[in-house]
Structure 1
Amino acid sequence: MKSILRILLTALMATSTLATAEAAKIVKPTPRPVVETYANWEELRIAKGWPEVNAAVKLPLPKRLLIATAALTTPERKVRNPNYGFALLLAGPTSRDATRLLAKGVLMNEYAFGDRTPAVLRSLAAEAMRGCKSCVAAYGLIQYAGLDVPQNDVVAYKWYRWAAVVGNAKGIEATALALAEGRGTPKNIPEAKKWAVRLEPARRAKLYTEIAKRIVLSKTPDDVAVSSDLLLQSIALNPLDAGRPAKQLLNLDYPPSVQDEAMAAIRAEGRAADPNALKVMAQVLWKKDKPEAVDEAISIFQTLAERGNADAIDYLSRALSRSDVNKSRKDQIIGSLQSAAASGYARASKVLGNAYYYGTGVDASLEKAQTYRESAAKQNDPEAQYLLGMMMLQSTDDAQDDATGRQWLEKSAAGGYPLAQAALQKLSSN
C-alpha cells in the first residue's frame, strides 16, 4: 500500500512540475512594440519608401488611400502633409472611402481646394446623405470658414447641427460655439451648454474654455458670469489640463472671488495639479507683490523647477535677488535648483553658476560658479558656454585655461550666441 502511495505522489509531483513549466512558458513577457517617430513628413515618406506627390497621384486607389491616411491623420501634427494627402484623394478615380477620409482631413487640417471646392462639396454632401457624420461636419466647416466659397454662417449652422444630431463630436462643438456666439442662429447659451454636455468630460472641458473665451468679449455682466462659471467647470472636469482655463480666468479681469475659487481648485490637486495651471497661478501670485503671495509663488516655482520647468527656474533666479525674501527661503531655493541641476536641467545649472559667481542669495564662490557653468555648457547651452569661456579667460593667466576658454567661446559662437561671436572678433583683433 505504501509503495502505491509513493508511486502516486511521484506522479503528482511530476505532473505539477510539468504544469509549472508550461505556465512559465505561457507568461513569457511579450516584447514591447517598436514605436516609430519621425521629425517631419519627408522623413516618414522616405522611411516608408513612398514616392513624391507627382508620382504618388498615379498609384492605384488603395495605395493612395494608405498614404493619404498617414499624411492627413497621423497623430503628430508636425509630421502631417495636408497638401500631399489631399492631392492623392482628389487625383483620378475616387470612392466613398476617399470622400470619408477627405472629410476627416478637412476637420483635422488646414485645407485649400481652389476650383475643386464645388466638386469636394458635392462629394461630401452625397456621402453625408449616406450617413457619414464627418462628411456632414466637414461640409459645415467649409461653409463656416468661407475659404474658396462665400462664407455662410446660416448654412454652416444647419450642417453643424445635423452633424451634432447624429452624434459627431466636431459637429457638437461647432453647434455649441455657434449658439454661444449667435453665428448663423440666435444666441442661446443655455442651449449651447445642453449640446456641450453630450461630450466626454475632457473634450467638454476644452469646449467650455473656448465658449468662455468668446462670450466674455461682450463684457456684459451676464456673459462674464457665465464665462466665469464655464471656466471653473472646465477646471473641475479635467484638473489635469487646467492650464488653459486657469490662464484665461487668472489673467483677465474676472471677479476676485472667482479667481480665488479657481486657485482653491488648483491647490486642492496638490503636486498632482496640471503644471501649466500651477505656473499660471504662481505668476499671478508673484505679481500681487504681497509677502504671503510671493512666498506661495516661490513654493510653487520650487516644485516646478525640480521638474525642469524653465520659467520656474527663471523666477527662482529672480527670487534670489529679492530683498524681501529671507535667507532661509533662499537656502531652500538653492536646494531646489541643485536638485534640478542634478537631474540634468542645464538652465538650473546656469542659474546656480550665476548665483555663485555674483554671490546672489549665496556666498560667492568662483569654484562652484565654474562647476555649474561647465555643467550647463556641456549640455550645449550657448549662453553658459560664453559665460564659462569668458570666466576662464579673465580669471587666470594659465595658457591652457585660456585655450579652453577660447574653445568654449567658439562653441557658443557656433551655437549662434552673439556675445560670443563679438568676443571672438575682439580677441582676434588683439
Structure 2
Amino acid sequence: MIRAAWLVVMVAVAACPAWTMAAPGDATREALQQRAEAGDAQAQVELGRALETDGVPADKVASTGWYRKAAMAGNAKGAWQLGFATMAGVGTPRDVPAGLEWLRKSVTISQNADDMATLSVVLEIDGNAQQEAMQWAQKAADKGAPKGMEVMGMARLSGHWGLPKDPALAEKLLTEAARKGDANTQLVLGQLYLNGAFGRKDPVAGMRWLQVAADSGNAKAAGLLGYFLITGKEGVPVDAARGVTLARKSMAGNGMEGHYAMGVAYVTGTGVAENPAEGWYQISLAQRMDSQKELGSAGDYLARAAAKLTPSQLTELKGRVDADAAKLPAAPAGS
C-alpha cells in the first residue's frame, strides 16, 4: 500500500502544470509578438506558450526559441518552460540533462516552493540524482509547499532515500499538507488511515479525508469512498445510497474507481437493482483504466457476474467494453 501511495504521489506532483497562461486572441498575439521582439522576457514566455498550445506542429520550434530567449535573459518562467521542452524534445533535440539544468536554474531564480517539489519528483523519476531530489523536496517542505510536505511525508513513511522511517512525522507532514487544501494529499492520507499505514487503522479519519478530497473534485477519492460505502470494507459502515451517488460522481470525472464501485453495486445489488450485465461491463471498463493494477478483487466480481450471463451476452459486453475503452482519455505519463 505504501509503495502504491508513493507512486500516486510521484505521478500527481510530476503532473502539476507549469505556469499556465490564457491563450491570446489574434490582436493580443500581435501585441505579444511586438513586445517579445523588443526584448520583454515575460512576453517571450507568453508568446512561447501560445505557440506551443496552438495545435500547429511547426510552431513548436518557435515556441521553444522564445522560451530560450527569456531563459537566457534570466527569466525563471522561461527557464522552467525551456527545461521541460528540452527534456521532452519539443521544438528542440531531446536532452534530459540539459533540461534538468534549466529547471534547476529556474527554481534557483524564483525560489518557488511548488516548483522545488516538482523538480524533486522529476529528479527522482530520472533516477540519477537521488540525494538532490531529497534536498529539493525538503526545501519545498520547509517553505510550506503542500507538495513538498507530501513527498517528504511519504519518504518518511516508506524510508525512501535512506531516511529513517518515522510514521509520526509522516502523519504530521501529510496532515499539514492536506489541511492546506491539497486534494491529492487528502486522498492519500485517507487511504493511509484506512489501511493502517501509520500503525493503526482509523476508518473515521480515513473516510473524512476521502470526503474532503471528493468535495474538492477528486474523482479517485469519490470512487474509493463510494466503494467502501457500498462494500463496507476496511471497517466502514455500509451506506449504499451515498456510495452509489459518490460512485456516479467519480464516473462523471472519468474515475476508474467510480466505474469499479458502480460495477460492484450492480453485481451485488447494493444501492441499485442487481444487474450482472451492467456490473460486468463497468468492472471490465475499470480494468482497462487500471494502469497501476490496483483492482485486485475485480476477478471475483467478474466471475460472479459472468455466472449469470450467457455466452452471447458476454460477447456483446466485451465488444461494448472494447469500443468504449478506445474512447477513454490517455493515461497521464507515469501512470
Partner AA of 1:179 in structure 2? Y
Partner AA of 1:140 in structure 2? G
Cα 1:103–1:179, aligned 2, differ >3 Å: closer, same or farther? Answer: same
Query: Does 1:223 pair with 2:239?
Result: no
Paired position in structure 2 for 1:100 = 114
Counting aligned pairs with the same residue, the percent is 11
Cα 1:228–1:122, aligned 2, differ >3 Å: closer, same or farther? Answer: same
**Equivalent runs, 1:246-395 vs 2, <5 Å:** 246-247=259-260, 256-258=268-270, 263=275, 276=285, 287-288=306-307, 290-291=309-310, 294-295=312-313, 297-301=314-318, 307=323
Check whether the contact 2:210–2:221 (CA below 8 A) recurs between aligned residues.
yes
Structure 2's unaligned 5+ residue stretches are 1-25, 28-49, 289-297, 327-335
Partner AA of 1:65 in structure 2? W
Check whether the contact 1:157–1:178 (CA below 8 A) recurs between aligned residues.
no
> 1:139 Cα deviation (Å)?
2.8
Query: Does 1:137 pair with 2:144?
Result: no
Check whether the contact 2:149–2:177 (CA below 8 A) recurs between aligned residues.
yes
Check whether the contact 1:125–1:135 (CA below 8 A) recurs between aligned residues.
yes
Whole-Å Cα distance in 2 between the matches of residues 186 and 114 of structure 1?
Answer: 30
> 1:162 Cα deviation (Å)?
0.4
Query: Which one scores higher on RCO, CA 8 angstroms, separation ≥ 6?
Result: 2
> 1:61 Cα deviation (Å)?
5.5
- Secondary structure at the aligned position of 1:198 is classed as helix
Whole-Å Cα distance in 2 between the matches of residues 153 and 45 of structure 1?
Answer: 47
Check whether the contact 1:143–1:153 (CA below 8 A) recurs between aligned residues.
yes
Paired position in structure 2 for 1:183 = 197
Check whether the contact 1:197–1:204 (CA below 8 A) recurs between aligned residues.
no
Partner AA of 2:194 in structure 1? A
Cα 1:142–1:95, aligned 2, differ >3 Å: closer, same or farther? Answer: farther
> 1:115 Cα deviation (Å)?
2.9
Q: 2:81 aligns with which of 63, 66, 86?
A: 66
Partner AA of 2:143 in structure 1? E
> 1:261 Cα deviation (Å)?
5.2
Q: Deviations over 1:124-167 (max 9, x none)?
A: 23311xxx333333332343453323243332221110011121
Aligned residues: 255
Query: Does 1:114 pair with 2:125?
Result: no
Check whether the contact 1:64–1:88 (CA below 8 A) recurs between aligned residues.
yes
RMSD of equivalent CA atoms? 5.7
Cα 1:255–1:82, aligned 2, differ >3 Å: closer, same or farther? Answer: farther
Partner AA of 1:116 in structure 2? E
Partner AA of 1:159 in structure 2? L
Q: Deviations over 1:190-221 (max 9, x none)?
A: 211112222245844412545788x9xxxx98
Query: Does 1:237 pair with 2:249?
Result: yes
Partner AA of 1:235 in structure 2? A
**Equivalent runs, 1:31-46 vs 2, <5 Å:** 35-36=53-54
Q: Deviations over 1:233-266 (max 9, x none)?
A: 5422223336544447758xx9844497574895
